Amino acid sequence: FDPKQKPEYGYGKYKDVITNLEFERLLNAAGPTGGKILRPSDGKEPKKIAFIQCIGSRDHRVGNPYCSRICCMASIKHAHQVKEKIPDAEVYVFYIDLRAFGKGYEEFLERTQNEGVIFVRGKPAEVYQKPDTGGLVVKFEDTLLGEVMEMEFDMVVLAAGLIPRVDSDVIQKLLKISRSPDNFFLEAHPKLRPVETHTSGIYLCGCAQGPKDIPDTVAQASAAAAQAAIPLMVGEVVAEPTTAYVDEEICGGCRICESVCPYDAVKVEETDKGRKAKVNEALCRGCGACGAACPSGAITMRGFEREQIIAQIEALLTVKGE
Amino acid sequence: FDPKQKPEYGYGKYKDVITNLEFERLLNAAGPTGGKILRPSDGKEPKKIAFIQCIGSRDHRVGNPYCSRICCMASIKHAHQVKEKIPDAEVYVFYIDLRAFGKGYEEFLERTQNEGVIFVRGKPAEVYQKPDTGGLVVKFEDTLLGEVMEMEFDMVVLAAGLIPRVDSDVIQKLLKISRSPDNFFLEAHPKLRPVETHTSGIYLCGCAQGPKDIPDTVAQASAAAAQAAIPLMVGEVVAEPTTAYVDEEICGGCRICESVCPYDAVKVEETDKGRKAKVNEALCRGCGACGAACPSGAITMRGFEREQIIAQIEALLTVKGE
């Protein structure tokens, strides 16, 4: 997420307002500062740092109502690292809810609290620069004290939320998979089939499915590999028996079926009898979209012929023993 | 977790203080009430229900500092179900932090808020029964308002945290695996090997490793299956080359090695020369505990003989080109 979409926090306007990823680079021994925490504007060591959570997460105004899951722990880690490298620094973390849900996470949060990091419940409204000192003023409501306050910092780190890759619509079309309302790729079933998609042979893991931390990503990646290994081991793929078929006598070759098929399974081809639709049964998933769209009624699903459905209804309506 | 360990909430004392699992049973169509929400004391429909989070989680006083991860969403689901079955019921959820971190969780939390469920930030201190009405009074501080308040409810649901199975020490000894400080089984590496243990061939998943919801458990279970499939597919297990070996001339048969070995790999046996320690190399993981404990210095690790270590140190100390 690009924090410039939230101009009230001053990202892009003030040099010392940076993202959590940029802060991660500062900490990196191979990074621009050789692992030293120095503020970008003047290269000095900051003595008072604010971490602001949920920038572009849990925020309807930018269209991201979901939690990005990793930012709380990332900021808590960063706060701990500041205390380690600059022991006399004052570190504030502004949050809505502290989501330390993983194994050992709560314990790590507590350790950081004991190190002196101050956690303030409340999402700041604004960050602005003080003209005289050049310091960054964070305006916030401490919801636990019920007071609106302003505090000056040397550096502000914004926990920018996770959003799907910009090219995910290209991948979506390429692989014929769906996306959930949050625009991440959609799993076949959130509880029971968390790594599968509705397209057989395509599996999901990590942040493709939604924001996720490293342990959960590694576990899910192994799971996706396991699922992918199943058809590879079996050596053959069982196709849907409920595929579409075309009555060439009726088909007018209008190409409507071609345009509605989500799996690219129907193609109109030139035949001796003119242009006719052809179904690739290996690709067809039996969704019925082509059949419903066909204006001449030329496409039917196997197992769902009109007579079969009527026979089923009749069987249902027949009272037992009659 | 047994909420009787937190007597201030009145579980076991008042009939209408129940756990989230008991509430789940009430909702079950095959449960004691046929799916109807009825309070246990008089079978009447409760009109005001309190859900209290973190009973036995994030609580040092009962020795469970960790977050149980699933209770927030379980209680939010229950609150939603109350609103669905008893639309005019007043539903309160008392929490420390709302941990709606998974895919679609935040959206579900918001939906429940829009349905009229009231979320109060603050862990109640006490639940007691009002003698005249029989109602349950919850005493809490609304930390967002900064006020201590009392409110009467018809039913109180305690979100009891997750603790490891009581027999996990038996399994620990049987499988020779470790446990983390929270007493759940320990993974080989929290980030990189989240489903493996330090004992080869033993894999972890689900709540054995730590509190976990269904999607994460299913993903982790597939991952564990994938990891377990690797040695099964290869058909052979590569043993540690760094195993212990016993100099039978020196071994006094004192059995200390036997007692310290965490893998049951050393056994003292009767030989022609008296009682001598024997190493089962298939079981030995080369941890070195026996060698360090042996009072006569009879046990050494292969590849770590005294001469080899001295040679390594000498090689390190030799200046290049000298």
The structural domains of chain A, with segments of one domain joined by +, span: 3-160, 168-234, 244-312
Selected residue with higher pLDDT from A144 and A27: A27
Strand partners, B157: B18, B51
Strand partners, A179: A185
Percent of all residues in chain A with a pLDDT value above 90, rounded to a whole number: 22
Question: In chain A, what residues touch B208 (CB-CB under 8 Å)?
Answer: none
Across all residues in chain B, what is the average pLDDT? Answer: 88
Query: Given this model, what pLDDT does residue B175 score?
Result: 85
Tokens 């690292």 found at: A81
CA-based nearest distance A49→chain B, Å: 23
Q: What integer is the mean pLDDT of A23-52?
A: 89
Could you give the CA distance from residue B173 to residue B129 in angstroms, rounded to a whole number? Answer: 45
CB pairs under 8 A between A and B: 138
Query: Given this model, what pLDDT does residue A7 score?
Result: 86
CB-based contact A196:A185 (threshold 8 Å) = no
Could you give the CA distance from residue A151 to residue B123 in angstroms, rounded to a whole number? Answer: 29
Query: Given this model, what pLDDT does residue B320 score?
Result: 66
Chain B's closest residue to A104, CA to CA, is B66
A3-160 and A244-312 agree in CATH topology: no
CB-based contact A176:A37 (threshold 8 Å) = no
Whether residue B239 is predicted with pLDDT greater than 90 in this model: the reply is no
Q: What integer is the mean pLDDT of B272-282?
A: 88
Query: Given this model, what pLDDT does residue A43 score?
Result: 87
Q: What is the ipTM of this complex?
A: 0.71
Tokens 């079996």 found at: A234
Could you give the CA distance from residue B268 to residue B271 in angstroms, rounded to a whole number? Answer: 9
Whether residue B96 is predicted with pLDDT greater than 60 in this model: the reply is yes
Q: Do A100 and B216 touch (CB under 8 A)?
A: no
Q: Do A98 and B103 touch (CB under 8 A)?
A: no
Query: Given this model, what pLDDT does residue B284 score?
Result: 85
Whether residue A144 is predicted with pLDDT greater than 80 in this model: the reply is no
Which of B97, B195, B224 comes nearest A99 by C-beta? Answer: B97
pTM of the full structure: 0.75
Query: Given this model, what pLDDT does residue A157 score?
Result: 93
Chain B's closest residue to A186, CA to CA, is B103
Q: What integer is the mean pLDDT of B42-70?
A: 89
Question: In chain B, what residues touch A209 (CB-CB under 8 Å)?
Answer: 103
Question: In chain B, what residues touch A105 (CB-CB under 8 Å)?
Answer: 66-67
Across all residues in chain A, what is the average pLDDT? Answer: 88
- pLDDT by residue (tens digit) across A155-213? 999 999 899 988 888 888 888 888 888 889 988 888 888 898 888 888 999 899 989 98
CB-based contact B194:A218 (threshold 8 Å) = yes
Q: Do B218 and A192 touch (CB under 8 A)?
A: yes
Residue range A3-160, CATH number: 3.50.50.60
Query: Given this model, what pLDDT does residue A133 score?
Result: 84
B158 pLDDT band, cuts 50/70/90, is very high
Query: Given this model, what pLDDT does residue B234 score?
Result: 82
Chain B's closest residue to A144, CA to CA, is B144
Selected residue with higher pLDDT from B240 and B71: B71
Residues contacting B124, CB < 8 A, separation 6+ = B9, B50, B52, B94, B138, B139, B140
Percent of all residues in chain B with a pLDDT value above 90, rounded to a whole number: 22
Question: In chain B, what residues touch A208 (CB-CB under 8 Å)?
Answer: none
Chain A's closest residue to B218, CA to CA, is A192
B321 pLDDT band, cuts 50/70/90, is low
Percent of all residues in chain B with a pLDDT value above 70, rounded to a whole number: 98
Q: Do A65 and B103 touch (CB under 8 A)?
A: no
Q: Do B218 and A143 touch (CB under 8 A)?
A: no
- What is B244-312's CATH number, 3.40.50.300, 3.30.70.20, 3.40.50.970, 3.40.250.10? 3.30.70.20
Q: Do B66 and A104 touch (CB under 8 A)?
A: yes
Question: In chain B, what residues touch A143 (CB-CB under 8 Å)?
Answer: 121, 144
Question: In chain B, what residues touch A107 (CB-CB under 8 Å)?
Answer: 65-66, 181-182
- pLDDT by residue (tens digit) across B115-132? 999 898 888 988 998 888
Could you give the CA distance from residue B11 to residue B281 in angstroms, rounded to a whole number? Answer: 53
- What single string gives the DSSP state of each residue in B211-225? ---HHHHHHHHHHHH
Query: Given this model, what pLDDT does residue B23 score?
Result: 92
Nearest CA among A14, A50, A73 for reference residue A212: A73
- What single string gives the DSSP state of each residue in B47-73? SEEEEEEEESSSBGGGTB-S--SSHHH
Q: What integer is the mean pLDDT of A63-90?
A: 91
Whether residue A106 is predicted with pLDDT greater than 60 in this model: the reply is yes
Query: Given this model, what pLDDT does residue A158 score?
Result: 93
Question: In chain A, what residues touch B67 (CB-CB under 8 Å)?
Answer: 100-101, 105-106
Whether residue A85 is predicted with pLDDT greater than 80 in this model: the reply is yes
- pLDDT by residue (tens digit) across A241-298? 788 889 888 888 899 998 888 888 889 988 888 889 999 888 888 888 888 899 988 8
